[in-house]
Amino acid sequence: MFSESVELYDTIYSEFKDFEAEAAQVATLLREKCPTAKRLLDVGCGTGRHAAALVAEHGFQVDGLDIESGFLEIARKRCPTGKFFRGDMASFDLGSTYEAVLCLFSSIGYVRTLERLTLAARSIRRHVAPGGVAIIEPWFTPGSFREGAVHMTIVDREDLKISRVNRTEVRGRISWMEFQYLVADPQEIRHLKEVHELGLFSEEEMLEALEAGGFHKVEFDPKGLTGRGLYLARTHS
């Protein structure tokens, strides 16, 4: 996944993604849907950008989980009040519960298959306290992912130049994306390559997986934080 580009992640995504604004939307949603929420778990937390904003700007206590060790090192420094765990979202068990569990920035797509989607729903449900909620931002559906697309992101700073280009394919129910990076600083020019594979799940499949995972009521907002939608799943009180 991001094994080659950990140190570039924040620099690249700062060019176009507003983590702080998204965290504010999540905070507003939590105050509306789960006003007692104080302790949060961010599954697929990345470098802790959402977590840090939720702590500093909105007063939540936030822990995180990610499979990428390099991300966790950054998250721990960025958000020193939280605990950050390494684990697979389809099989983690931290032995504790939270009023709300988040899975943002389409991280859920990395489970790849319907079977692992249901396992992830169960793992998330296991960590939501009675009366709590899970907020999950999905990846694209099978009909909305654009095959054959090419994209480029540029970082143009005085002492750092990054060009990230990627192309897309659809392989069955998997969105397959090849990323190549050209990175230049005063010391060297590097070429990096990564492949990312995310499962394409329909709205019906997402709802079924969350219900099979043990949530008793699931709502879907088709717009969500970024236009990809947002699932809000509740547990019994």
What's the CA gap between 206 and 209, in Å, rounded?
A: 5
What is the second-level CATH architecture of the domain 150-199?
A: Single Sheet (2.20)
Q: How buried is 81 (Cβ within 10 angstroms: 0-12 exposed, 13-18 middle, 19+ buried)?
A: exposed
Checking if the pLDDT of 68 tops 90, the result is yes
pLDDT band at residue 237 under the 50/70/90 scheme: confident
pLDDT of residue 175: 98
Output the pLDDT for position 49: 98
Contact 41, 93 (CB under 8 A): no
Beta-carbon count within 10 A of 225 CB: 21
Q: Give the pLDDT score at 130.
A: 97
Residue 73 pLDDT: 98
Q: Confidence band (pLDDT; 50, 70, 90) for 2?
A: confident
Rounded to whole angstroms, the Cα distance separating 180 from 174 reads 19
Where does the chain hold its CATH 3.40.50.150 domain(s)?
A: 6-141+201-234
For CATH 2.20.130.10, list the domain ranges present in the chain. 150-199
8 Å CB contact between 167 and 176: no
CB of 9 within 8 A of CB of 75?
no
Three-class SS of residue 59? coil
Average pLDDT of 219-227? Answer: 97
CATH architecture for the domain at 6-141+201-234: 3-Layer(aba) Sandwich (3.40)
pLDDT above 90 (res 1)? no
Give me 17's structure tokens: 């993604």
Q: What is the pLDDT of residues 173-206, one digit of tens each?
A: 999 999 999 999 999 999 999 999 999 999 999 9
- Binned at pLDDT 50, 70 and 90, residue 3 comes out as confident
CA separation for the pair 143, 116 (Å, rounded): 21
Distance separating alpha carbons of residues 76 and 65, to the nearest angstrom: 11
According to the model, what pLDDT value does residue 131 have?
96
Q: What is the pLDDT of residues 16-62, one digit of tens each?
A: 999 999 999 999 999 999 999 999 999 999 999 999 999 999 999 99
DSSP state of 207: H
Span between the terminal Cα atoms of the chain, in Å: 37
- Reported as a single tens digit per residue, the pLDDT across 75-126 is 999 999 999 999 999 999 999 999 999 999 999 999 999 999 999 999 999 9
Instruction: Answer yes or no: pTM beyond 0.95.
Output: yes
Q: What is the pLDDT of residues 129-160, one digit of tens each?
A: 999 999 999 999 999 999 999 999 999 999 99
- Residue 94: CB partners within 8 Å, gap ≥ 6? 41, 63, 65, 85, 87, 127
Residue 208 has pLDDT above 80, yes or no: yes
